[in-house]
Structure 1
Amino acid sequence: MDRNAGGALDGAVVAVAGAGGPAGRAALLRLAEAGATVVAADADAQRLAEAVDAARYAHGGATVTGDTVDLLDLAATRDWADRTEKEFGRIDGLVHLVGGWRGSSRFTETAPADWALLEKLLIRTLQNTSLAFHDSLLRSDRGRLVLISAAGAGKPTAGNAAYAAAKAAAEAWTLAVADSFRKAGGEDGPGAAAAILVVKALVHDAMRAERPNAKFAGFTDVTELADAIAGVWDRPAEDLNGQRLWLTPAP
């Protein structure tokens, strides 16, 4: 049964960047269930196709499309955004799920290559997608940009220096987008909103199967994350814009 029939996402067009992983698959399912047209992108064509097919199969009649896009290429990302708006007439959301993790046991063992990779995955893909979709989201009457961040961005540990720094930079970029939305709204307030969902870490069924005795304390299940993503459209833009929404206890 559709949990959001006639709700805030009904008829919306939502782009999901990094849709091929477990969190992306859950998000596609939830957004399609809520009545959205979902336009997914990932660098891995096979994983993307599997995620798109799963969402289509689970919700017959839902429009879920997939594009293999190099989100490190700003021109290619802009082309994806332009094609999406031209085809569907509007863009009401951008969900950034491009992830990655590198760490070490000690601070002094942090590898420069870890930062080089995380800067691309966590920061540059966000920069390119937000630049490409910014104006489309402003043209929407319910535009939303959603970033998934980690609690470690505000409380980094020695072995997570590169990861925490990349997440903190991504949060700062998202808050700059929020300020742009605020300024564009003028006295009427923002018509679009950029928000950050903060987790400790994510867990999914395959992880539990691999580690049946693990507790995963404080972790957020990808289905809960998907619900939280869909839920941002239930909040007014002026209340949501520039907010960090904690899905795990704040430190």
Structure 2
Amino acid sequence: MSAAPEGRVVAVAGAGGPAGRAVVRRLAAQGVRVAAADADPSRLEDAVDGTHDGTTAEGRVVDLLDADATRAWVDDVVDRHGRLDGLVHLVGGWRGGKGLTAEALTHWAALEPLLVRTLQHTTLAAQEALAAAPAGRFVVVSAAGAGAPTAGNAAYSAAKAAAEAWTLALAHAFGRSGPGPAATILVVKALLDEAMRAARPDAAFDGYTHVDDLAVTIAGLWDRPTAELNGERLWLTPQP
């Protein structure tokens, strides 16, 4: 059985973005001990300071493109807290164009490190600890476009598809570790936050997932059985 929320330790990679801040707030409000990481010190500080009283969230500046630095972060979390119950990967980025042109190669060069390599580094660093947890959870946010790429979004969709494939491989590894751990893909059309709404007050944002709703879903993963989660793509937007 999973530990009660106040007994869990969850690492959030890419905590400084809108989704990361929402997830850190939600988990900390439950009493989860959150280990937040981001490459940007000011954004990370905002994420940690935004928790309900700041007592259950800690921040560390980490270059997740550095495999050794990523492993050192995860190892430090496990050493200090004695466990790791979850890893949430929220490192994002987007590039798009008007068609399938040579520009897509430039987009790929920018997106692959952010969306794929940081995922590889974090999962390799955390896999053993998550497998040892009573109900270890790994979650990554993907995009509906990964399964239906357009010419203009070729690089972005390809990077998301690669991230999904890596996550499914982790799920396969977890499947050999027993009933506890799960690797899950959450599929969205796009994410929405209050700054976007303020910038475009008349926009409908049809099919978008608010970051607060994303955070609720992520926080609830420990309440769901592994069989419902491991290797699954959970849609938070209408499935085509």
After TM superposition, the score normalised by the length of structure 1 is 0.92
The one-character-per-residue Cα deviations of 1:107-141 (angstroms, maximum 9, x if unpaired) are 22633221011100000000000000000001110
Aligned to 1:229: 218
| Residue 14 of structure 2: aligned partner | 18
Does 174-183 or 233-242 show the bigger shift? 233-242
Matches within 5 A, 1:171-190: 171-185=164-178, 190=179
Instruction: Work out whether residues 8 and 32 of structure 2, in 8 Å CA contact, stay in contact via their aligned partners in 1.
Output: yes
Partners of 1:139 and 1:87 in 2: how far apart? 16
Matched, 1:72 2:49: no
What is the letter of the counterpart of residue 98 of structure 2? S
Could you tell me how far apart the structure 1 residues matched to 2:175 and 2:239 are?
25
* Aligned residue identity for 1:172: A
Equivalent position amino acid for 1:102 in 2? R
Residue 80 (structure 2) aligned to one of 80, 87, 105: 87
The alignment status of 1:141 with 2:130, answered yes or no, reads: no
Structure 1 match to 2:117: 124
Return the alpha-carbon distance in structure 1 between the equivalents of residues 115 and 188 of structure 2.
15
Provide structure 2 residue ranges, at least 5 long, that are not aligned to the other structure. none
Q: Which amino acid aligns with 1:225?
A: L
Q: Distance in 2 between matches of 1:61 and 1:44?
A: 19
Deviations 1:144-199 (A, max 9, x none): 000100000001111100000000000000000000000122xxxx3100000100
Shift of 1:11: 1.3
- Native 8 Å contact 1:151 1:199 kept in 2: yes
| Structure 1 residue ranges (4+ consecutive) displaced by more than 6 angstroms after TM superposition | none
Give the equivalent residue in structure 2 for 1:239.
228
Rounded to whole Å, the distance in 1 between the matches of 2:235 and 2:75 is: 32
Match of 1:3 in 2: none
Structure 1 regions of 5+ residues with no counterpart?
A: 1-5
Sort the Cα spacing of 1:7 and 1:213 in 2 relative to 1 into closer, same or farther, 3 A. farther
CA contact (8 A) 2:141 2:185 kept: yes
Cα distance in 1 for partners of 2:107, 2:193 equals 24
Larger mean Cα displacement after TM superposition, 123-132 or 30-39: 30-39
Between the aligned partners of 1:213 and 1:101, the Cα distance in structure 2 is 23
Once residues 110 and 4 of structure 2 are traced to their aligned partners in structure 1, the CA distance between those partners, rounded to angstroms, is 36
Q: Is the 8 A contact 1:77 1:129 kept in 2?
A: yes
CA contact (8 A) 1:7 1:34 kept: no
Aligned length: 239
Deviation at 1:105, TM superposition (A): 1.4
2:130 aligned counterpart, secondary structure: helix
Residues 14 and 94 of structure 1 are in contact (CA less than 8 Å); yes or no, is this contact kept in structure 2?
yes
Identity across matched positions, percent:
62
